[in-house]
Structure 1
Amino acid sequence: MSFKELNLNKAIVKAIDEAGYTEPTLIQERTIPLVIDKKDVIASAQTGTGKTAAFALPILQLLFNKQDAPKKGKKIRALVVSPTRELAAQIGKNFQIYSKYTNLRTTVVFGGAGIEPQIDILKKGVDIVVATPGRLLDLHKQDVLNLDYIEVLVLDEADLMLDMGFIDDVKKIERLCPEKKQNLLFSATMPFKVEQLANSILNAPVRIEVTPTSSAAKNVSQILYYVPKRNKMELCLHLLRNTIKGKRILIFRRTKFGVDKLESTLTKNGYSAERLHGDRTQSERQTALNKFKHAEVNILIATDVAARGIDINELDAVVNFDLPNVPETYVHRIGRTGRAGNFGKSYSFCSADEKSYVKSIQQLINVQIPVEDNHPYPLDPKAKPIVHKKQGSKYKKGRKGEGSKKKKKRWY
């Protein structure tokens, strides 16, 4: 099937051709006709399946007839709500590529960047806004953003939005939009919370499921290393020196502190690495990402939230320095590599306290991950997880200390 067959007009098809897309992906093929038909949609699709175009292209098609500004200026007719700044920036960029030969204008608004330039653009008038929830509500409070004319509302990465605690903001944004509008919800996983949100917002939605999350990326070979927690750093350096030398690598850690610690160790050992997590400013995150994309550094260390939805082509390997406790997250992580017909590798480090995570990951993906025993830091199979016990008081409960035992003169 070609994009022309999806009833997209010439201006949009021309931009798609120039961007190098020849035929629609499965999610695009299923979603685009429904959105053009003005149906509400709930879609389950992982990152890397082409879902941004699945909602961006039909939205541009629907707004195409209203692209020329009336005398009072353009009104915001489509709103895309996204959990992270990086994802919002990427969606905005895609909209601009696809609308190249139209007069439709898109802007992106998110926190961590100056609010004034965003206000200026909004005052000039735009058709489509891509936003993170916090900044969107700030701008609405300041009366520079009018949601009364919204025709299409898109909630992207809904599961992550709820994980990050945006549920109330999302509901508030939905209430600020007109009651009669088209709603599209995209989510990589469909936990109960997402289902609840969909039921409260969507109107008789059509369900689309593309590659259930349990199908791990086909072009990625997975390897598991059992290693004591204290030796993970050494194993990482060992791999960088021998196995994945000079390759483009994305390393995942569970915490921001862990990301910083690993970056500092790698830098001391002569590697060029950048880090990505929520405590860095927007410009720092953008700089880190650009350096990695332009091959100025070949290692990017990130937390899951910061790396969600980032599109990095030609990534050689993913290293799970810390295993995720949510099995779906593992699928997302390794799906960063092996995209667009390329082959990739994933290396996962498992310490004694992470063995249960491996079990649930393998149950989800229905694959036994091959184990590499031939490395300098093997984990003793009998090793028990390290439990940090709190030191209690040296006195028994209810016993008095030495000081109070001494006979004291009482006032009574």
Structure 2
Amino acid sequence: MPTQRITFPGHDGSELAARLDVPDGPHLATALFAHCFTCGKDIPAARRIAARLASMGIAVLRFDFTGLGHSAGEFSNTSFTSNVEDLIAANAYLADRGMTPSLMIGHSLGGAAVLKATSKLDTIKAVATLGAPFDTEHVTHNFADALPEIMSKGVAEVSLGGRPFQIGKGFVEDVAQEKLSPAIAALNAALLVLHAPRDEIVSIDNAGQIFLAAKHPKSFVTLDSADHLITRGEDAEYAADVIATWVRRYITLKPPAPPPGAPEGVLRVSEADPQGYLTDITSSDGHHLLADEPLAYGGTNKGLSPYGFLSAGLGACTSMTLRMYARRKGWPLAHVSVDVSHNKMHAQDAETAVGEKIDTWRRRITLTGDLDAEQRARLLEIADKCPVHRTLERSSTVITELAE
């Protein structure tokens, strides 16, 4: 997944630092990601969600709000309203590049910001929030002890997550005055609310209020035991999968025609976890799968192993071939199931080198229906004519080259 480092002018002209995660293949849509309060564009949850969406053809722009991370500007002069304006500026930047966003994703206060921004943009088709507050003033609980000093002096330094930040009076007054209900009710986009029941920073009551304030279509999905920052890899992966699956209902992701010589298009396989073996697999028509290794081999067992996919291909092809044949013959085949196991066996009395291992797939086919013995025998013969079966039985050519 290529990542471009870019900058664009924010609400006050300050240069905002951003990363644009673009698909390896065709660009089918664009999303904007807004990070949590005082966080940044590079937190693990943002990176994983961006990678997952990019793998299915959706480019993702994630950026640091004014005064945070690598972005210019004074954080003490920012507010919730300026965050919303930064999002609108990011939307305009992408539109100028011919990449007008159709999806917004916001984490925590960034979730509240995308709700507000979306109500001002008519090109957004879908919005997803993670751990977002319904009451934006909720964020001041993080520095409640400093509120008297902020209000009397106009600004004060607070410690958040072990880092110092200058919080201005304008920020406090802005979040106190903001009411999200009208903006949520005015959304002309599908809404997905993701929240963890045990979130200790923003209680799940906020998710319920956001959901109730929105009109349909809307969805509510729990993040179970995830923490507010979604720091665990498995929680970020789950959130990414949910968003990626959900958004297909509301954004058209139409891939281009397959290239010559590849009638089913190009299957793209890319690492999801460089520290392990988890792998994203995306077909040219948008189907997504996960590959992994079993726990015993150092994987996390979140997807089929490579040999598991081979076995699945054989089983699926067998079932489809039998169904196609029975349908053409008009036979009363009610149901087909195929159990497939795979093993490597040392060659014995075979036309192979001594000690060489050969692959053995064992198929157990169950046919249900009012079939006579002759029909059942014929279907067993037809199983061996399955294209994947024939591919596995004969030699194939694999051509490998390095990409430029």
Higher helix share: 1
Quick one: higher RCO (CA 8 Å, sep 6+), 1 or 2? 1
In the superposition, the TM-score normalised over structure 2's length comes to: 0.24
Higher strand share: 2
In the superposition, the TM-score normalised over structure 1's length comes to: 0.23
